[in-house]
A and B are shown apart, each in its own frame.
Chain A
């Protein structure tokens, strides 16, 4: 079993819809949680960064962490065609130097 599970199934939504993505993890020591966006043939771009449990909002993006359930989520409101990309969750332990990534979710926003 991988440390971080992310259902890689592609997700197609109409423009303006809410996109909901999530990851589960097995390592209870994870404390730092990130969401990256990766466009085709580009490197991952950091979107959101949260520490421990709770919510964080940045414009149309909201990240949620529920450490008791080992579950993190990313919501994209009012989705735009430019949001079409692969979204990767990543997490790490305090004092560690490696990020553990999920497989990524491919999101397509249809105009």
Chain B
């Protein structure tokens, strides 16, 4: 079946602009995660949803970052007033079961954000 999809794949934003990144998880997956991957680094956790509930947002680096999953499927990560340090690949992952039951996360291809 279809995997996790993300759009856009590439985004260039001028410093100060707002951006919105979309994630379509695998159909039926309960859990959804956002990670940030800087160049040459491993992914860093940003936030976690179980269905529509955002249960953990402790990894969001500042209040400029906001995520939502209003109907428990598609999720959007929004970054306001982008800064150069926000340049990274933003990865979305989904998992079939609620966290604590299944730890296998399936990743999308990512959105590469470049802030100029």
Contacts and interface: CB of A to CB of B under 8 A. Distances in A.
The majority secondary structure among interface residues of chain A is loop
B109 A97 contact: no
A90 B100 CA distance: 16
Interface residues of B, number: 28
Contacts of A49: 103-104
A66 B36 CA distance: 28
Interface stretch (A14-22, A38-46, A73-81): A38-46
A9 B22 CA distance: 33
Interface of A: 4, 6, 8, 32, 34, 36, 41-46, 49, 88, 90, 92, 94-104
26 contacts: A4-B42, A41-B110, A42-B109, A42-B110, A43-B91, A44-B43, A44-B91, A44-B107, A46-B104, A49-B103, A88-B43, A92-B103, A94-B100, A95-B99, A97-B31, A97-B33, A97-B48, A97-B55, A97-B56, A97-B99, A97-B100, A98-B56, A99-B43, A99-B103, A103-B40, A104-B41
